[in-house]
Structure 1
Amino acid sequence: MKDRVRKRCKASFTNMTLLLLIMLSSYIQAQEQEISISEALELSYANNEKIKQYNERVQQKVYNDKAAKGNFLPSLNLLGGYTYLNENIQVNTSQISTSLDDLGGKYGAAFVAAYGEQIGLSGLSTESAYSTLVSVLGQFPPYPNMEIDNRQFPTAALTATQPLFTGGKIIAAKRYAKAELRSADIELKQVKDEIANELIERYLNVVLLQQVVKTRQEVYDAMLKHKEQAERSVQLEILPKHVLLRAQVAVADAQKDLNNDLNKEELATMALRTTMNLADTIPFKVMDSISYKELYLDFNELLTTAYAKQPVLGLIDQKEEMAKQALALEKSKFMPNIAAFGTYNMFRDELPVVPPQFMVGVQAQINLFNGFKDINQLKSSKHLEKEVKNAKDYAFKQIHLLVQSNYVTARNQQKLYNSLTATVELAKENLRINTRRFEEGLGKSIDVIDASLLYKQSKIEQLVALNGYYQAIANLYTAIGEPEKIIPFINK
Structure 2
Amino acid sequence: MKYQAKSKQIRLFKKITVLLALLITSHTYAQERQISIQDALELSYANNDKIKQYNERVAQKSYENKAAKGNFLPKLSLIGGYTYLSENIEVNTSQISSSLDDLGGKYGAAFVTAYGEQIGLSGVSAESAYTTLVSVLGQFPAYPNMEINNQQFPTAALVATQPIFTGGKIIAAKKYAKAELESANIELTEVKDQIANELIERYLNLILIKQIVKTREDIYNGMLKHKEQTERAINLEILPKHVLLRAQVAVANAQKDLNNDLNKETLALMALRSTMNIEDDVPFKISDSITYKAIDLNFDNLLNTAYIKQPVLGLINQKEEIAKQALAIEKSKFMPNIAAFGSYNMLRDELPVVPPKFIVGVQAEINIFNGFKDIHQLKAKKHLKKEVENAKAYALKQIHLLVQSNYTTAKNEEKNYLSLSSTVALAKENLRINTRRFEEGLGKSIDVIDASLLYQKSKIEQLVALNAYYQAVTNLYTSIGEPENIIPFINK
How high is the TM-score relative to the length of structure 1? 0.89
- Does structure 2 conserve the Cα–Cα contact (< 8 Å) formed by 1:161 and 1:341? yes
Is 1:472 aligned with 2:466? no
| 1:400-448 C-alpha deviation (Å, 9 max, x unpaired) | 1111111111111111111111111111111122222223332222222
- Structure 1 residue 98: deviation in Å? 3.9
Who is 1:213 aligned against? 213
Percent identity, please.
Answer: 79
Who is 2:228 aligned against? 228
SS of residue paired to 2:266? helix
**Partner Cα distance (2:368, 2:80) in 1:** 33
SS of residue paired to 2:362? strand
Is 1:79 aligned with 2:113? no
Paired letter, 1:47: N
**Partner Cα distance (1:297, 1:25) in 2:** 39
Paired letter, 1:436: R
**Partner Cα distance (1:46, 1:90) in 2:** 72
**Partner Cα distance (1:27, 1:37) in 2:** 22
Who is 2:370 aligned against? 370
Is 1:46 aligned with 2:53? no
- Does structure 2 conserve the Cα–Cα contact (< 8 Å) formed by 1:30 and 1:283? no
- After superposition, the Cα gap between the structure-2 partners of 1:270 and 1:473, relative to the gap in structure 1 and judged at 3 Å, is same
Q: Which ranges in structure 2 are unaligned for 5 or more consecutive residues?
A: 1-23
**Partner Cα distance (2:488, 2:114) in 1:** 108
Q: Which ranges in structure 1 are unaligned for 5 or more consecutive residues?
A: 1-23
- Does structure 1 conserve the Cα–Cα contact (< 8 Å) formed by 2:35 and 2:285? yes
SS of residue paired to 2:161? strand
- Structure 1 residue 223: deviation in Å? 2.2
Who is 2:94 aligned against? 94
Who is 1:184 aligned against? 184
SS of residue paired to 1:46? helix
- Structure 1 residue 117: deviation in Å? 5.1
- After superposition, the Cα gap between the structure-2 partners of 1:153 and 1:27, relative to the gap in structure 1 and judged at 3 Å, is closer
**Partner Cα distance (2:412, 2:345) in 1:** 81
- Does structure 2 conserve the Cα–Cα contact (< 8 Å) formed by 1:348 and 1:354? yes
Q: 1:457-468 alignment to 2 at 5 Å? A: 457-468=457-468
Who is 2:302 aligned against? 302
Aligned residues: 469
Deviates more, 1:344-353 or 1:240-249: 240-249
Who is 2:254 aligned against? 254
Q: 1:76-225 alignment to 2 at 5 Å? A: 76-112=76-112, 114-116=114-116, 118-120=118-120, 130=130, 133-134=133-134, 136-225=136-225
- Structure 1 residue 338: deviation in Å? 0.8
**Partner Cα distance (1:381, 1:29) in 2:** 63
- Does structure 1 conserve the Cα–Cα contact (< 8 Å) formed by 2:169 and 2:332? yes
- Structure 1 residue 218: deviation in Å? 1.5
Who is 1:356 aligned against? 356
**Partner Cα distance (1:406, 1:216) in 2:** 31
| 1:123-179 C-alpha deviation (Å, 9 max, x unpaired) | 666666555545554554443322212222221111111111111111111111111
- Structure 1 residue 366: deviation in Å? 0.5
- Does structure 2 conserve the Cα–Cα contact (< 8 Å) formed by 1:326 and 1:381? yes
**Partner Cα distance (2:29, 2:85) in 1:** 78
Who is 1:311 aligned against? 311
- Structure 1 residue 221: deviation in Å? 2.0
- Does structure 2 conserve the Cα–Cα contact (< 8 Å) formed by 1:81 and 1:156? yes
- After superposition, the Cα gap between the structure-2 partners of 1:26 and 1:148, relative to the gap in structure 1 and judged at 3 Å, is closer
- Structure 1 residue 231: deviation in Å? 4.0
- After superposition, the Cα gap between the structure-2 partners of 1:288 and 1:325, relative to the gap in structure 1 and judged at 3 Å, is closer
Q: 1:431-470 alignment to 2 at 5 Å? A: 431-470=431-470
- Does structure 1 conserve the Cα–Cα contact (< 8 Å) formed by 2:25 and 2:282? no
Paired letter, 2:170: I
| 1:355-410 C-alpha deviation (Å, 9 max, x unpaired) | 11111111111000111111111111111111111111111111111111111111
Who is 1:13 aligned against? none
- Does structure 2 conserve the Cα–Cα contact (< 8 Å) formed by 1:207 and 1:287? no
**Partner Cα distance (1:439, 1:80) in 2:** 105
- Does structure 2 conserve the Cα–Cα contact (< 8 Å) formed by 1:167 and 1:332? yes
- Structure 1 residue 101: deviation in Å? 3.6
SS of residue paired to 2:183? helix
SS of residue paired to 1:77? strand
- Does structure 2 conserve the Cα–Cα contact (< 8 Å) formed by 1:54 and 1:188? yes
Is 1:269 aligned with 2:269? yes
- Does structure 2 conserve the Cα–Cα contact (< 8 Å) formed by 1:38 and 1:491? no
Paired letter, 1:203: Y
- Structure 1 residue 230: deviation in Å? 3.6
Paired letter, 1:45: Y
Who is 1:17 aligned against? none
| 1:310-336 C-alpha deviation (Å, 9 max, x unpaired) | 111111111111111111111111111
**Partner Cα distance (1:215, 1:365) in 2:** 81
- Does structure 1 conserve the Cα–Cα contact (< 8 Å) formed by 2:176 and 2:325? yes
**Partner Cα distance (2:406, 2:143) in 1:** 96
**Partner Cα distance (1:376, 1:123) in 2:** 76
**Partner Cα distance (2:287, 2:430) in 1:** 30
Is 1:343 aligned with 2:343? yes
- Does structure 2 conserve the Cα–Cα contact (< 8 Å) formed by 1:310 and 1:480? yes
Q: 1:280-429 alignment to 2 at 5 Å? A: 280-287=280-287, 289-429=289-429
SS of residue paired to 2:287? coil
Is 1:34 aligned with 2:46? no
Paired letter, 2:213: V
- Structure 1 residue 248: deviation in Å? 2.8
- Does structure 2 conserve the Cα–Cα contact (< 8 Å) formed by 1:343 and 1:358? yes
- After superposition, the Cα gap between the structure-2 partners of 1:471 and 1:56, relative to the gap in structure 1 and judged at 3 Å, is same
- Structure 1 residue 491: deviation in Å? 3.3
**Partner Cα distance (2:282, 2:197) in 1:** 23
SS of residue paired to 1:195? helix
**Partner Cα distance (2:238, 2:454) in 1:** 26
Deviates more, 1:103-112 or 1:449-458: 103-112
Is 1:66 aligned with 2:66? yes
- Does structure 1 conserve the Cα–Cα contact (< 8 Å) formed by 2:25 and 2:283? no
CA-atom RMSD, angstroms?
2.3
How high is the TM-score relative to the length of structure 2? 0.89
SS of residue paired to 1:184? helix
Who is 2:244 aligned against? 244
Paired letter, 1:166: T
Paired letter, 1:368: I
